[in-house]
Amino acid sequence: MPLLNLKNQALALISQTVSGQELAQLRIAFLGRKGQLNQVFKKLDKVNYGRQFNETKQAIESALTERQTQLTGTTAEWFDLTAPGQLPPLGHLHPISQAIAEIQRIFEHLGFTRVRYPEVDWDHYVFEALNMPADHPARDEWETIFIDAPAHPKLGQMVLTTHTSNGQVREMERVKKPPIRMLNLGKCYRRQQDPTHTIMFHQFEGLVVDKGISIPHLKGTLDYFGRQWFGPKIKSRIRPFHFQFTEPSFEVDMACVFCDQKGCRVCKNAGWLEMGGAGMVNQFVFESAGYVRNEWQGFAFGFGIDRLAMLKYHINDIRLLTGGDMRFLKQF
């Protein structure tokens, strides 16, 4: 029974293969011109064993094909070892990363330089130096997360930064002698969670310090950014507001991108969307950084990046940005 033995041996080996390469080797070993099947058949009586030879050959052929299908999911009979490999899909940048790169590009055109300051910082830089002493009611707006670590004798407790404004005094201390055109861009943290707020979010802070800086410089900068971000026709406006570290202070609105200012659900029929805060740097902040009072003027502004991205890409739930759902992320 040499042909039956050969067939059983071949089928057993084929069933144990784990790659197309192994299958190709078995095909040559058994069915090749100098393969085992021909070797065995050579020694047999061609007339009596002719039919069994064909059956054995067919059985091995179909076992090879079937195994190939199991391994690759295709019916290809030949595995081309010289074909170039296929790269796995690599994806693309997250919409927030894309927004950050775009914001940086826009402000670099105006001469701003991106810096990075700590996201875990001393109370001093986050609040005190910005004219918000401990127990000041202005702090209530910032739902602060404190770090359970020993306080610094001068700089106070450590906190997760509630805004990128901690970069203001740090940058002034670093530069010492203006001009300053800073873009501090990073993550911020507050105790909050709903469809438009997450505990961790992204913000950027612009700071300009020089001689003779006034509100029109601020307004021009905001207008430029709005047009670059939302399109050439977008209008912006500033409304009086109050922040401890700017005087005067403003809230910044941009024309609603959804309704062309006709009024819609997103802008609550106002025609304007609130974008962020801004103002002229309070002289108290210059003093915190060791500058002489009234020697310099400056303006500062802070915007939420997640909100800017949501409005630009028409995303209605901020949690989609951190959900990790590929069906959502692939759209950008």
Q: Which of residues 195 and 323 has its CB atom nearest to Zn ion in the complex?
A: 195
DSSP category for residue 143:
-
267 binds Zn ion (CB under 5 A): yes
Cis peptide leading into residue 179 (ω within 30°): yes
Report yes or no: 248 and 240 within 8 Å, Cβ to Cβ.
yes
Q: Which of residues 60 and 267 has its CB atom nearest to Zn ion in the complex?
A: 267
**64-103 footprint of Zn ion as x/- string (CB under 5 A):** ----------------------------------------
Question: Please, what is the minimum distance in Å from the beta carbon of residue 258 to Zn ion?
Answer: 5
CA distances from 300 to 14, 277, 282, 314 (A): 72, 8, 10, 27
Q: Compute how many residues bind Zn ion; rule: CB under 5 A.
A: 5
Question: Please, what is the minimum distance in Å from the beta carbon of residue 234 to Zn ion?
Answer: 12
Q: Which of residues 37 and 311 has its CB atom nearest to Zn ion in the complex?
A: 311
Question: Please, what is the minimum distance in Å from the beta carbon of residue 274 to Zn ion?
Answer: 12
- Considering only CA atoms, which of 249, 108, 237 is closest in space to residue 165? 249
**110-149 footprint of Zn ion as x/- string (CB under 5 A):** ----------------------------------------
Query: Which tokens is 283 given?
Result: 């002289």
Question: Please, what is the minimum distance in Å from the beta carbon of residue 311 to Zn ion?
Answer: 10
Q: Which of residues 223 and 274 has its CB atom nearest to Zn ion in the complex?
A: 274
234 binds Zn ion (CB under 5 A): no
Q: Is 256 helix (H, G, I), strand (E, B) or coil?
A: coil
Please report where in the chains the tokens 């400056």 appear, as a residue: 298
Report yes or no: 298 and 307 within 8 Å, Cβ to Cβ.
no
Stretch that binds Zn ion, among 181-189, 265-273, 291-299, 321-329 (CB under 5 A): 265-273
User: Under rule CB under 5 A, which residues in 235-264 are in contact with Zn ion?
Assistant: 256, 258-259, 264
Environment class of 146 (CB within 10 Å of its CB; exposed 0-12, middle 13-18, buried 19+): exposed
C-alpha 98/C-alpha 90 separation (Å) is 16
Question: Please, what is the minimum distance in Å from the beta carbon of residue 160 to Zn ion?
Answer: 33
Q: Which of residues 145 and 259 has its CB atom nearest to Zn ion in the complex?
A: 259
Q: Which of residues 40 and 264 has its CB atom nearest to Zn ion in the complex?
A: 264
Question: Please, what is the minimum distance in Å from the beta carbon of residue 252 to Zn ion?
Answer: 16
Report yes or no: 255 and 241 within 8 Å, Cβ to Cβ.
no
Question: Please, what is the minimum distance in Å from the beta carbon of residue 313 to Zn ion?
Answer: 16
Q: Pairing state of beta strands 120-122 and 236-243?
A: unpaired
Q: Which of residues 106 and 259 has its CB atom nearest to Zn ion in the complex?
A: 259
Report yes or no: 275 and 252 within 8 Å, Cβ to Cβ.
yes
Q: Which of residues 215 and 259 has its CB atom nearest to Zn ion in the complex?
A: 259
The secondary element (H helix, E strand) that includes residue 185 is: strand 180-189
Query: Which tokens is 4 given?
Result: 């039956």
Question: Please, what is the minimum distance in Å from the beta carbon of residue 262 to Zn ion?
Answer: 7
Q: Which residues bind Zn ion (CB under 5 A)?
A: 256, 258-259, 264, 267
